[in-house]
Structure 1
Amino acid sequence: MKRHLSGLLPALYAALLLFGLTSASAAEWPRQITDSRGAHTLTQAPQRIVSTSVTLTGSLLAIDAPVIASGATTPGNRFADDRGFLRQWSDVAKARRVQRLYIGEPNAEAVAAQMPDLILISATGGDSALALYDQLSAIAPTLVVNYDDKSWQALLTELGTITGHEAQAKARIASFNAELAKTKAAITLPPQPISALVYNTPARTANLWTPQSAQGQLLSELGFTLATPPAQMQTSQSQGKRHDIVQLAGENLASGLNGQTLLLFANDERDADALRNNPLLAHIPAVREQQVWPLGTETFRLDYYSVRHLLTLLNQRFKS
């Protein structure tokens, strides 16, 4: 199936691009993008992008893509600002006047009101609007993007190709790689292997990051080794089939957290204390040896902004 990007909407987005970079020239269009729904032909660089996924929005902002509106999460929760945008890029979104589409439940009418020339949907996760694909694709060309099976760098590269901002994506990745190399040289790794997770304090459950997740891949780049959970462990799939997490609950919680160190993403010291004080986890090696480290609430979704924050935290925790 081919969908064509309309050239009728005026170009309303203009900004000075970081490092003096420009988006793809007219000579590089049209270009064909293939996703899970087929092949799509974009006749020109998009100028009015709507992101239905709050996870994708941070990466779009990082490459200076013209995102005009975004889906949001619950305002004022532990991850988000008063509009429901993730805190790590909240100030950037405000400066660029990104509009909020809706909170949580996708709304096709809200998307249509923005008159987009490109709509982006995440393939999985709580911020996926995939159920509205047919409605959204009738409004404008609509692409489905997976973020649960790749690093944040790979996602940034993919979005750069879609938007014509490849140069910006490369520059951001190069800048980060330089910081990562410095961090890797500066830290002493805690006991290995490690379990990387998000701990749900009220429910006493956890989402364990897999090697395929952006979090898992970043830790591998830094030299960490991820522990392998028991092969026969029963896991929940309440969020559908995902590549980035293994859901742990009940008797699987202790057996799944089998690393010598626990790194808690999207968690603060209160969550770490709650995990340490969970009587069902008192016997596991990481708790027994006091190797439980929270990495802050800005690390729930990884993008250019949150990974830089994460490197700062890792430097503080494990500096040689």
Structure 2
Amino acid sequence: MKQPTLVILAAGMASRYGSLKQIQSFGPSGETIIEYSIYDAIRAGFKKVVFIIRKDFVQEFKEIFEPKLKGRIEVDYVFQELNAFTEGFEIPEERTKPFGTAQAILCCKGRIDGPFAVINADDFYGAEAFQKAYAFLDAKVADNVYGSIAYKLKNTLSDNGSVSRGEIITNNEGQMTGIEERLKIYKKEGKVVYEDGDNLIEMQPDTFVSMNFFCFAPSFISLCESEFKPFLEKNIQDIKSEFLMPKVADTFIKEKNGIIDVIPTDAKWFGVTYKEDAPVVKKELDELLTAGAYPNNLWA
């Protein structure tokens, strides 16, 4: 089997930061969250990383990351543009953003021909998650068997507001049967709840949720391609519609008889959902550095 590749969804970074040069540093030597993910991936065994980015900031991206990664991991780039794979469809003028994470994966067509893991650029996933992902990709992934790194809900909450999470529904074999979107999850009076209309529904802190860390075979790219046209036929006029990985994964399970193994991790996820989360992220990283999980300079 071919060596697993790490795919990083980074096409939305410029819209969040205005310029890549404004990417927030959290580590003591100016490291960004994305660098900790790559560092963990290298330690887990990944030899190649593919960044999915917008073509208009590829030079900035190279200037920031390539000097640090040279000689450590092979680097490649895939460009996600609004009109990618939309031949035959007229995109509304009001739409400015691409169609989401599954379109991003589709843009890897012809560029990835082996097993791959997918993560978000600005989320911290923890070393254990990359170790488990690599082991799965190296030994078990197949055209009809994918994997999803599953986090405990309590390890993904923010103290600064509500979050939305995809609750992973499983069968007795520990396989995913679906992902249910839970909106506005937060802590209230010692419990974790989410809003369902006017009702508050309690969730167990150990509930498994998806943080967009998937393990796929190349067949997933083909599935994204076959599902994209029906998506566009139905949603092209909705300028906010998104073609998302979890939705295609759901189709894989329910219509293609595919299997998605749930891969549990005790790792703590964190990211900057709110600007108030930034000090929390810094504190979490400082604690990991103090514990010796990472060096003070990742690339020294």
**How high is the TM-score relative to the length of structure 1?**
0.30
Higher-RCO chain (CA-CA 8 Å, sequence separation at least 6): 2
Structure with greater proportional helix content? 1
Max Rg structure = 1
